[in-house]
Structure formats: structure tokens, C-alpha cells
Amino acid sequence: MSEQTAQSNGTSPVSSISRRGLLRAAGAGAAALGAGGLLQACSSGIKGASTSSTKAITIGWIHPLTGDLAGFGAADNWVISKIKQTTPYKNGFKIGGKTYPVTIKSYDSQSSVTRAGDLARTAILSDKVDLLFASSTPETVNAVASQAETLGTPLVCSNIPWEAWYINLGGNPAKPTLKPKYVVMYFLGAEHLAKCFIPMWDRIHAQLHTDRVVAAAFPNDSDGNAFRAVFPPIVSAAGYTFDMSSPYPDGTTNYSSMISAFKADNADFFTNVPLPPDFATMWKQSIQQGFRPKLATVAKVLLFPTDAYAMGSEVYNVATDTWWVPTLPWKSSFTGEDCQTMANEYEAAGNGQWNANISNYSLFEVGHAALTSVSDPHDKNEVANAIHQVNIQALAGPLDFASGGPAPGVAITPPAGVQWQRGTKYPLEMQVVDNTLLREAKITADLLPTNT
């Protein structure tokens, strides 16, 4: 495995580190190396073959390892360590009778939209990546997708509602005729979250006889704009009154007027899609001001243990969604390890509770499937065509980009309804309480009211 130096921009190098140190950092899932916060994973050596005959395939991954969205990237360094142990990434990709070594470069967006776009340009123009990955929320993914589509580099995205992703590329989710040339994605959509939350509202309504009023706080950002367009008609058709706040800017610190309006309308349910720090502020103020909905169903926040633990007891019985749980029957296409095995290994490595973004493993499964189906992995147009044709069974579930999905280039991984409850193994545990959209997810606890 060769030692290399990575750069976070075109000119500022990050000091190289030892192979042993890098593996240890990746295994702990905690490294942000050098002033730029860019982690360079080592290239994979090929056993019994010369690496001089073929140019290495370079794969770049832009994701939030630090900053407000760091919870989304908490599992990512562990994922890289697991991927590097698989036969294809360790020994090289076999393509057209040749074996190509593989280099993985990991770029920390630091939860910055601007930095994510800048890193995409660096990866494409300076580091000459053959394939890009981008994960976790519009704040990271959209800027990367725009650069990839403009600069002609194939990109696989995950962990972003498909509507926000599609709108950013110029598409209309209501009339999804636009086909991105270089970009595909897998995840759920805003409509899946509405359809995930409604069955939970129905059960609490049947139990507590609510007024069927849903308070919604959607920010003025990509996710908020998508949710404002998608949620109201679905919620209204289900028999609920949707009490939607005015769009608010990310980083708002005072939600008093919004909370007062929700209280005045006797809203028994609450939903939102904020940045994690904004939800912590909003929810604390709601409790202080006596807004205690019978069930809170939140999106984008409380998806991972780190964010839930940061809120302490205030998070008890708040519900959200998840697209990956240990009980799912999906398996690694490289090793055959199932979801439960992966979750157990993640916890055994000292990373705390399992994390749904272990499913980011499948970025590398898609990448391998596409790159090994072409004649030249350095031909970006050929690779771009190939990612649109991928149809595999992966750790994240069935991923079919060829079928057209709800829009070209989109593969849906539907969510289950989950709730943070007092735990037994851990103080807080994410329990699956509804599997309406994801029947393969095993129910692990009864749904409880957030407040009675």
C-alpha cells in the first residue's frame, strides 16, 4: 500500500501519515487530519500483479466529518476501514483482463456548503478522481452534484431527500423528465417521510383522541422548500390539518412566536426538518413554553446516537425515521455480511451504538458495480453511463438506478418509523415502532406518546 499526500485545496498539502496510523484512525472513525480536515485513504496494492501496467482508479468521497452535520459522518471512517478489507478494494478491480489498484480519498466538507463545492472542484480538477461520492444532506450533496454535473464527473450520492437533490439539478419532482448525465442517488424522499409519519400519528390519535392538527416548522433551505411542497397535500389527504410556520432562516435562535402559534392552534403533533443545532434550540424552547405535542416526528435530526445523546432526557419518545437498521436482511455484496453483523462489528470496534449511515458502505458497492462493467474506468462518460445502469442487492438494500425510480437516476431506500426510548443496553435506544414502508424491518418496541 503506497503512502500518498492529500490536499484540501489546490495548494495546501496535508502532511502524510503512516499506514498503521491511518488504519487506526479509520477504525476509530474519528480522524480529521491536518489543517484542511482532509483524510487520504491509502491506495490498494495488488497481490501477485504489477501496478505499473494500469493507472490506479481514484475514488473521492465528500462528506461531513466535522461541524453541525458531523453526526451524519460518524460511521464513515469505519466504513472506509471495512471497505479497504474487501477483496476488490484490497486487491484491485478486475476490468477487461486487467487489474486496477484503487485509491480512496476522503474529503471533510466540515458541514459547509461552500467548502463542499470547493472540494468537489479540487477532487475533479486537481486530484483527477475517476468517480465521486457525496453523502449526507443538501448542505453537502447539492454543491458536489452541481460541480460534478458541470465538470463532467460521475457521482453517486446518498442521504439526501431525492426531491431536494433533483430540484438542485434543475428538475421538477412533479414532472421528472430531466435525466442528469453524471449523477445518481439512493435514499428516500420527502413523500416517504410523510407516509412514514402518518401511521404513527394515526396510532397516537386512536389512543389519545387528538384534534388531528400537525404543527410543521420547515426552514428556508433546500430540505425545507421540498417539504413545504410535498407534505401538505399528503397530510391533508390523510385527514390532518397542517399548521405550517413561515419559512425561517437556518440558525434562528428564538422560536417563541412560532411556538405560540402552534399552542394557539392546539397542535397535537409536530414535525420539522431542521439542522440539528436548530432543533435542539427549538425543542428546548417548546418545552419551556409549554408546547408539548402528543407525538413529535422529526426529520434530518435525531437520526444518530450522537445527536440524540446531546439532548439528554428531552429526547425521550421523540420519533423520527431511519433507512437502515440491524434487523434488515440486506447483505454486503463483497463479503456476505448482513446488517446485524455490521452493526455488531461497529459497536465492538468502540464506536458506540450502531449508526444508520453504516449503509454508506453501499456507495462503494455501487462504485464497484459500475467501474467493473466498463471497458475503461478512466473514461468518465462511460462510467457515468454505467452508474445509471447499476441494479444490485447491497447492504443498503435493493439499489436499482436503471428502472427510472420516481425520477431518472434515483433509487429509493424507504424508511421505517423509529423512536428514541429509554434503553437497557444503552441509556437511549432507537426502537423500530412502525414498518409500514419497510416491512423487512423488525418491530422492536411499541410506539409511545412523546407527551400525554
Mean pLDDT computed over 31-42: 36
Q: How far is CA 290 from each of CA 317, 321, 419, rounded to the nearest angstrom?
A: 17, 25, 21
CATH class of the region 19-188+326-412: alpha beta
The predicted structure's pLDDT at residue 251: 96
Task: Quote helix, strand, coil % in the chain, to nearest 5.
Answer: 35, 20, 40
Which stretches of 109-190 are assigned E, i.e. beta strand?
A: 131-135, 155-158, 183-187
Burial (0-12, 13-18, 19+ Cβ within 10 Å), 206: exposed
Mean pLDDT computed over 214-223: 97
Span 415-439, pLDDT tens digits: 999 999 999 999 999 999 999 999 9
Q: How many whole angstroms from its chain centre is CA 431?
A: 19
Q: Tell whether the model's pLDDT for residue 99 goes beyond 70.
A: yes
Span 65-97, pLDDT tens digits: 999 999 999 999 999 999 999 999 999 999 999
The predicted structure's pLDDT at residue 43: 38
Handedness of CA 203, 207, 213, 217 (dihedral sign): negative
Span 255-279, pLDDT tens digits: 999 999 999 999 999 999 999 999 9
The predicted structure's pLDDT at residue 51: 42
- pTM comes to 0.88
Q: Tell whether the model's pLDDT for residue 372 goes beyond 50.
A: yes
Q: Tell whether the model's pLDDT for residue 400 goes beyond 90.
A: yes
Confidence of residue 53 (pLDDT cuts 50, 70, 90): low
| Cell 453504516, located at residue | 358
The predicted structure's pLDDT at residue 415: 98
Mean pLDDT computed over 240-247: 96
Q: Tell whether the model's pLDDT for residue 11 goes beyond 80.
A: no
Q: Tell whether the model's pLDDT for residue 45 goes beyond 90.
A: no
The DSSP 8-state label assigned to residue 54 in this structure reads: S
Q: Tell whether the model's pLDDT for residue 25 goes beyond 70.
A: no
d(CA 335, CA 332): 5
* Lowest mean per-residue pLDDT among 20-29, 326-335, 404-413: 20-29
Q: Quick check: 363 and 86 in contact, CB under 8 A?
A: no
Burial (0-12, 13-18, 19+ Cβ within 10 Å), 370: buried
Confidence of residue 142 (pLDDT cuts 50, 70, 90): very high
Q: At what angle do helices 76-83 and 19-28 cross, to 10 degrees?
A: 130
- DSSP per-residue codes, 56-81: PEEEEEEE-SSSTTGGGGTTHHHHHH
Q: How far is CA 265 from each of CA 214, 242, 268, 270, 281, rounded to the nearest angstrom?
A: 9, 10, 9, 12, 21
d(CA 67, CA 108): 10
d(CA 26, CA 86): 15
C-alpha cell at 373: 462493467
The predicted structure's pLDDT at residue 414: 98
Span 170-211, pLDDT tens digits: 999 999 999 999 999 999 999 999 999 999 999 999 999 999
Provide the residue ranges of all domains of the chain, joining segments of one domain with +: 19-188+326-412, 191-322+416-434
Q: At what angle do helices 76-83 and 361-371 cross, to 10 degrees?
A: 40
d(CA 89, CA 110): 26
Burial 259-286 (b: 16+ CB within 10 A, else e): beebbeeebbbbbbbbbbbbbbbbbebb
d(CA 144, CA 140): 7
d(CA 284, CA 291): 10
Q: Quick check: 39 and 307 in contact, CB under 8 A?
A: no
d(CA 178, CA 184): 12
Q: Tell whether the model's pLDDT for residue 230 goes beyond 70.
A: yes
Span 316-370, pLDDT tens digits: 999 999 999 999 999 999 999 999 999 999 999 999 999 999 999 999 999 999 9
Percent of residues, the chain, with pLDDT higher than 90 = 87
| Average per-residue pLDDT for the chain | 90
Of 3.40.50.20, 3.30.565.10, 3.40.920.10, 3.40.50.2300, the CATH number of 191-322+416-434 is 3.40.50.2300
Percent of residues, the chain, with pLDDT higher than 70 = 88
Q: Which helix (H) or strand (E) holds 344?
A: helix 339-346
